Amino acid sequence: MKGLAQLLFVLMLAPLASGETILVYADTIHTMAGDAIQDGYVLVRDGDIAAVGQADDYAPDGTETIMKAALVTPGLVDAHTCVGLAGHLNTKHDRDELDRGNPVQPHLRAIDAYNPHERLVEWVRGFGVTTVHTGHAPQALVSGQTMIVKTAGNRVEEATIKSVAMIACSMSDTAISGDNPGTRAKASAMLRQKLLDARHYVDKQSSTKNDDESDDSETDGSKRKRRDLELEALAGVLKGETPLLIHAHKARDIANALRLQEEFDIPIVLDGASESYMLMDDIKASGIPVFIHPTMIRPYGERENLSFETASKLIDADIPVAMQSGYESYVPRTRVVLYEAGMAAANGCDFNDALAMITITPAKILGIDDRVGSIEVGKDGDLALYDGDPFEWTTHCTGVVIDGKIVANTPR
């Protein structure tokens, strides 16, 4: 009887485990893993991409949910945003992207502030954005952690790909907007001191652990130094596990970031980088990728020298570049990477380069290209469907699939 009961239990679960099968036909499929496929199909089964190829090569068996589109791309990946922490109302009640209590707070976790039901998450999803790298705003010296999350799900845990992706900081005007720090020199000194403190903390923790293991008289770890969440977060940077996402627009601020990377031998990603075209040789030599500013962001203040052509220039220099929606302090609080990449496509980037900036390139930089960023068998079933060229203003996103589930099918 016990064996029969187990068998019945498995049979009851089988329909739930099988999931929906979705068959998408399209005039053009940009897989970002090779040449575009004309008159093609993508089959999504059990949440993953099961097959992709010419439409004539697959015969449906009647169990699939069929979708059709003029053009299909991988689900779009936003390289950097504050969506889910910054809310659409722009009030103190839905602004969790920045805490001004202290200029250095690397231990603030994005996963503790992210709201999967925020309307801005639904908004960007409607344009085909299925994955976002989001977190604390770059308006403090060290504002907190970032995370990578899908734009669907009831609880944040259901949608999270990486709970800790990077630590957001700033070496630009936003870091010295208050009294502490009040200058760039002090900002750099404070960040450098915190990294040195973290290095000492790691060494101390390691030495006391070794002492505990070698001392039979003390096995309770009583000599170990008290845990420090700030220093533990920065320890991940020193170990090469967590990159610093450094917000810098001016050439001198970018140079400060490069100097910090060389001094501590830590992974960093440049964020914003309006004047990066002035330091392309140095950036390329460092191997540092760039999350370029949104193409249409307002050019004033430290962004006064931005150019619509910066993305194309960096790409031509073989520097990894991904497009971000960034952070806006006013309603609606976010841009849409689809349109920002489209503007880059009109200013020096070819179509494939522009599409790569919002699909496979950010996926590679973020270390999640084994799951998202391209349409390949075995990857997550994330697709964006359009009724025309996605970079044309008159084109609509007609459907969005995330992890094999249709999450949007109303044209936007």
Q: What are phi and psi of 24, to 5 degrees?
A: -110, 120
C-alpha closest to that of 375 among 21, 18, 35, 125: 35
In the chain, where the domains are located: 19-74+374-412, 76-193+225-372
| Phi, psi angles (nearest 5°) of residue 346 | -90, 0
Tokens read off for 408: 């949007």
Strand-pairing partners, residue 51, are: 43
pLDDT of residue 329: 79
CA distance 149 to 209: 35
In angstroms, the CA 240 to CA 78 distance is 23
At residue 222, the pLDDT reads: 55
> What does the pLDDT read at residue 177?
76
d(CA 1, CA 212): 52
Q: How far is CA 108 from CA 101, 104, 342, in A?
A: 11, 10, 34
Confidence of residue 5 (pLDDT cuts 50, 70, 90): very low
pLDDT tens digits, 390-407 = 999 999 999 999 999 999
Q: What mean pLDDT do residues 173-184 have?
A: 86
What is the reported pTM?
0.92
* Of the candidate ranges 107-111, 160-164, 317-321, 331-335, the one whose mean pLDDT is the lowest: 331-335
Average pLDDT over residues 22-42: 98
pLDDT confidence tier of residue 18, bands split at 50, 70 and 90: very low
For residue 285 the two structure tokens come to: 């030599």
Fold: same for 19-74+374-412 and 76-193+225-372? no
Amino acid at 75: G
Average pLDDT for 127-147: 96
The whole-number pLDDT of residue 17 equals: 38
Q: Residue 334: is its pLDDT beyond 80?
A: yes
Radius of gyration of the chain (CA): 23
pLDDT of residue 6 exceeding 80, the answer is no
User: Would you tell me which CATH number, out of the four given (3.30.43.10, 2.30.40.10, 3.30.420.40, 3.90.420.10), belongs to the domain 19-74+374-412?
Assistant: 2.30.40.10
User: What pLDDT is stored for residue 220 in this prediction?
Assistant: 53
| Fold topology of 76-193+225-372 | TIM Barrel (3.20.20)
Q: What is the mean pLDDT of residues 267-287?
A: 98
> Do 354 and 344 form a contact (C-beta atoms < 8 A)?
yes
Amino acid residing at 51: A
A 10 A CB-CB count for 117 gives 11
- The better pLDDT of the pair 85, 212 is held by 85
341-362: average pLDDT: 97
Q: What is the mean pLDDT of the chain?
A: 91
Residue 16 clears pLDDT 90, i.e. is over it: no
Residue 233 has pLDDT above 90, yes or no: yes
Q: In sequence order, what are the beta bridge partners of 180?
A: none
Q: State the pLDDT confidence band at 213, using cuts at 50, 70 and 90.
A: low
Query: Does residue 10 have a pLDDT over 60?
Result: no
Q: For residues 205 and 184, which has the higher predicted lDDT (pLDDT)?
A: 184
Q: Identify the band that residue 94 occupies on the pLDDT scale cut at 50, 70 and 90.
A: confident
Calpha distance 305→301 (Å, rounded): 9
pLDDT surpasses 50 at 14: no
The predicted-structure confidence for 286-318, as pLDDT tens digits, reads as follows: 999 999 999 999 999 999 999 999 999 999 999
**Nearest Cα to Cα of residue 237 among 163, 104, 364, 145:** 145
Half-sphere exposure of 148 (CA within 13 A, CB side): 20
Determine the Cα–Cα distance for residues 15 and 5; give it in Å rounded to an integer. Answer: 17
